[in-house]
Structure 1
Amino acid sequence: MSAGPTRLLVVCLGNICRSPLAEGALRARIEASPLAGRVMVDSAGTGGWHAGEPPDRRAIACARGHGVDIAGLRARQLRARDFEDFHWLLCADADNLRDVRALAPPGARERTALLLDWAGTVPHGEVPDPYYGDGSHFEGVWQLVDTAARAVVDRLSARPASGIIRP
């Protein structure tokens, strides 16, 4: 893994609801912090059904309601290179974590975690999939991922300047 900014990848199932909301929240919180330019965030899905598509319109509307624009994001599927390119792969739920770990090459499994758990906001917590719900479900997801984004900023701000947070 090359030197440079800390790189976080948020992973959900299709990369159109939870992970783009989390990516948007993380980017916004990081850019408004002393970590700006030092942490890079991306998102992916374990499945490729929506590859190339924008986030779900309800996710876009929810993020927009919080002053965050995710309309330009495009879904993509998790790829083998992500295990080399990212320091941490942060998963929305236990199923995604299991799937990501099943694909992880030797030595990368310990750099996978549940987003809410890794952030320190909800031990073993999962971000529920709002896809079959309404706007209130997306708002609930936003509250979880934005709280996690604030905690991630605190966690990364507390680390030694020269180090990546280790498992």
Structure 2
Amino acid sequence: MANVCRSPMAKVTCEAIAGTLLPRPTGLRALLKRKALCFDSAGAKAGLGRAQADARAQKALKGRGYGPAKQRARRVTTSDFIHCDLILAMDSAVLSDLQQQCPAVHQHKLHLFLDFTPELRGQDVPDPYFGDAAGFAHALSLCETGAQHLVRALIQGEVPGVRLKTN
């Protein structure tokens, strides 16, 4: 909820996986430049000000060969509900908070992060904040799996209401 562990890890893994799965020469850079694709990280209750991603999350990412999570913690805003095509929560408690904050017209954009992974649909990515390195490794593994399925679903046009233009 503080936007320093799972969400930054999910953002980094989504960007990395999109960079490998998107067809060439389009690639992630071209889509980002055209603003046709954007991954962001925000918390339902980002309570740690503009904190950087947790050092343990950064260590888990680095251990798997990812770059650092560079964004700072921030809270979801009304603008996010309006401008984002998809808003993903890492667990059902966060999803519930988002559902309470989100205007009715944008409720269809809210999902759990793992909802695009058939075998994990409806499941939470556990919050590793109060745990050890193993908890961060497990959360990162779920982020990687979820990101693989999410990016594939985006590319294949399987996300309702979202059309990714790769041309």
Q: Is the 8 A contact 1:30 1:39 kept in 2?
A: no
Aligned to 1:97: 95
Q: Is the 8 A contact 1:62 1:142 kept in 2?
A: yes
Q: Is the 8 A contact 2:8 2:69 kept in 1?
A: no
Amino acid at match of 2:2: G
Distance 1:112 1:71 in 2: 23
Amino acid at match of 1:61: K
Amino acid at match of 1:21: M
User: SS state of the match for residue 142, structure 1?
Assistant: helix
RMSD between aligned residues: 1.6
Among residues 111, 130, 133, which one is paired with 1:132 in the alignment? 130
Q: Is the 8 A contact 1:120 1:148 kept in 2?
A: no
Distance 1:121 1:146 in 2: 14
Runs ≥4 in structure 1, deviation > 6 angstroms? none
Alignment of 1:22-101 (within 5 A): 22-34=10-22, 36=28, 37=31, 38-101=36-99
Structure whose residues are more often helix by fraction: 2
Runs of 5+ consecutive residues of structure 2 not aligned to the other structure:
none
Task: Provide the TM-score with structure 1 as the length reference.
Answer: 0.85
1:148 and 2:146 aligned: yes
Amino acid at match of 2:51: E
Structure whose residues are more often strand by fraction: 1
Matched residues, number: 151
User: SS state of the match for residue 98, structure 2?
Assistant: helix
Q: Using a 3 Å threshold, how does the CA distance of structure 1 residues 115 and 121 change in structure 2: closer, same or farther? A: farther
Runs of 5+ consecutive residues of structure 1 not aligned to the other structure:
1-12
Distance 1:42 1:134 in 2: 25
Q: Using a 3 Å threshold, how does the CA distance of structure 1 residues 70 and 85 change in structure 2: closer, same or farther? A: farther
User: SS state of the match for residue 40, structure 2?
Assistant: strand
Among residues 9, 13, 17, which one is paired with 1:21 in the alignment? 9
Distance 1:26 1:148 in 2: 8
Amino acid at match of 1:30: A
Q: Is the 8 A contact 1:88 1:111 kept in 2?
A: yes
Task: Provide the TM-score with structure 2 as the length reference.
Answer: 0.85
Q: Is the 8 A contact 1:92 1:127 kept in 2?
A: yes
Q: Using a 3 Å threshold, how does the CA distance of structure 1 residues 53 and 111 change in structure 2: closer, same or farther? A: same
